Amino acid sequence: MDTRAARQTSPVAAPPVDDEGRPVPLHDEAAFEAMARAGELAARTLDFVTPHVQPGVATIELDRLIDGFMRDHGAVPATLGYRGYPASSCISINHVVNHGIPNERRLREGDIANIDVTVILDGWYGDTSRMYLIGDKIPIRARKLVDVTYDAMMAGIAQVAPGRTLGDVGHAIQSLAEAARFSVVRDFVGHGVGRRFHDAPQVHHVGRPGEGLVLQPGMIFTIEPMINAGRHEVKILADGWTTVTRDRSLSAQFEHTVGVTQDGVRILTPSPAGYTRPPYG
């Protein structure tokens, strides 16, 4: 070791990097307010479409409603044209894990479905998703999967505070899901979000306490666990987007965009209507 006087270190702390070595942006107060506006519009979009999510509606019809609502409110859908993605939302039914492309398929009594929307408002991205129960004859196991997935997301969010780690977040989600004998999808992660759709850090939904990125005020990212009723493995269909469970078991997901504050966490995508988990209203 070097026994000479300590070398002068920079008075500015090294910028945080995620597990891939990418710099993690720190956002100022103005950015938080802009993200809160984008997040609120994304959440309002889900609130708005909720009464239309009924047996018999085609998912492409819901996508048209979502697209119109965003544009009527001065935003554009972030997903449309993103890496060639062809729609303004993702709608993922039953064993579809994520990135379901809206189409002529009609929702049926007993389905569970995730609707994931991302707006770009004034250059800022707001990203959120919720589960829907279609009709009122939902199998008990499907309902339990949806409840556990919501609870897992909220348990992850509850870990977010300065000094805590992304490992704490992943561990909380994984513990809750696995205690219910469900499994956590490994192949997709939450992500930093701001003026970019998918930024650092990667947010794994499994982890070990104390490991990973140490959270600092100003970080903004999504927490969006995908939980399967069966095994965690997934595969992507030939359309290049639609992800399904390999064992065809049901899958559920919720997503919030959150920011690390001086003393904890701020959810940037709360529902103005007060919707949390289904049934809504």
If one asks whether residue 82 binds ligand MF3 (CB under 6 A), the answer comes out as: yes
Q: In the set 18, 47, 67, 255, which binds ligand MF3 (CB under 6 A)?
A: 255
User: Out of ligand MF3, Co ion, none, which partner does residue 79 contact, by CB within 5 to 8 A per kind?
Assistant: ligand MF3
What is the x/- site pattern for ligand MF3, positions 112-151, by CB under 6 A? Answer: ----x-x--------x------------------------
Which of Co ion, ligand MF3, none interacts with 67 (beta carbon under 5 to 8 A by kind)? none
State yes or no: cis peptide before 278, omega within 30 of 0: no
What are the structure tokens assigned to 149, written together? Answer: 């997935």
Say whether residue 90 binds ligand MF3 (CB under 6 A): yes
Q: Least CB distance from residue 265 to Co ion, whole Å?
A: 16
Nearer to ligand MF3, 168 or 255 (CB): 255
> Applying CB under 5 A, which part among 6-14, 28-36, 42-50, 115-123 lies near Co ion?
115-123
* Dist. CA 260–CA 221, nearest whole Å: 9
* CB proximity list for 5: less than 8 A, separation 6 or greater: none
Interaction between residue 85 and ligand MF3 (CB under 6 A): yes
* Residue 171 is a binding residue for ligand MF3 (CB under 6 A): no
β-strand pairing of 190-192 with 243-245: unpaired
Task: Work out whether strand 112-121 and strand 234-236 pair parallel, antiparallel, or are unpaired.
Answer: unpaired
| CA distance linking residue 150 with residue 155, whole number of Å | 9
- Per-residue x/- marks for Co ion, 228-267, CB under 5 A? ---------------------------x------------
Residue type, 190: G
Assess 251 for contact with ligand MF3 (CB under 6 A).
no
CB–CB of 150/141 below 8 Å?
no
Binder of residue 18, out of Co ion, ligand MF3, none (CB less than 5 to 8 A by kind)? none
Q: Which of 182, 187, 184 shows the shortest CA–CA distance to 230?
A: 182
Is 18 one of the binding residues for ligand MF3 (CB under 6 A)? no
H or E element in which residue 172 lies: helix 166-179
Strand partners for 251: 228
Count H helices and E strands in the chain, helices first.
4, 15
Asked if 99 contacts 92 with a C-beta cutoff of 8 angstroms, the reply is: yes
95 or 191, CB closer to Co ion? 191
Residues of the shown chain interacting with ligand MF3 in the complex, contacts defined by CB under 6 A:
79, 82-83, 85, 90, 99, 116, 118, 127, 222, 224, 241, 255
